A = this chain, B = another copy of it.
Amino acid sequence: MIPIIIIVKPENSGQEAAMRVSREQMAETHEQIVDAAARLFRAGGFDGVSVDAVMQQAGLTHGGFYRHFRSKDELAAAALRRALERGAARMEKHENLGAMVADYLSERHCHDRGNGCAITALGGDMARQGKGVRAVLTAHLRRRLERIARLLRGGTEASRRRRAIAALSGMVGALTLARAVDDPDLAAEILASARASFGDG
């Protein structure tokens, strides 16, 4: 008896054209992945959004992900950095605390979690994240506090620092509470009360 071994080759069963792409295009793709992740992670949390969902949002399939990042954790850090930068840019447009607080505690920001502040959207998940992700948040938080302190008038530098921490805490907490409750009226009341309380720092 002579054993006959048949090796069945996959034969490219319906694969779409998957050709190499130019360096420029790859860099563009990279940005799209980070942008998609920054939005989806804020909306659904790090653990609530899959790599596949991010890649689909970026118009790709999941397999190519590891040409861009070593792991999902590395993407999380990059996406968090991107989201925090966007948030910082928006906050820096305001010339006084009242305007910043009014923007931060707006109905729009409350409802648009995916494009909003990453500190509030992902702050609660930080304890469960890796070192890299937490380091990104900590560094950005320091800068954010310094920027807010610089907006404040009166008192000592230590006082302005303290009031900056209080203002950011109030904003993050109020937005968290407003998003958590299932009653839109209560959410609106929380936002309005916090605007009135923290806007005149």
Contact = CB atoms under 8 A, between A and B. Distances in A.
A26 interface: no
Counting chain B CB atoms within 10 Å of each CB, the highest count among A122, A134, A180 belongs to A180
Contact of A170 (B122, B128, B137, B170): B170
Contacts of A173: 168-174, 176
Interface string A124-135: 111110010011
A146 to B, nearest CB: 12
Contacts of A181: 126, 134, 137-138, 141
Nearest to A180: B126
A177 B141 contact: yes
B170 A169 contact: yes
A182 interface: yes
Contact of A189 (B128, B165, B179): B165
Copies of this chain, complex-wide, total: 2
Interface string A20-53: 0000000000000000000000001101100000
B48 A128 contact: yes
Interface residues of A, number: 49
A124 B127 contact: no
B48 A138 contact: no
Contacts of A142: 186
Contacts of A163: 197
A64 B79 CA distance: 40
A161 interface: yes
Contacts of A131: 182
A180 B134 contact: yes
Which 3 A-B residue pairings sit nearest by Cβ, starting from the closest?
A173-B173, A124-B124, A166-B197
12 contacts: A44-B128, A113-B127, A121-B124, A123-B180, A126-B180, A138-B180, A142-B186, A166-B170, A166-B193, A166-B197, A169-B173, A172-B172
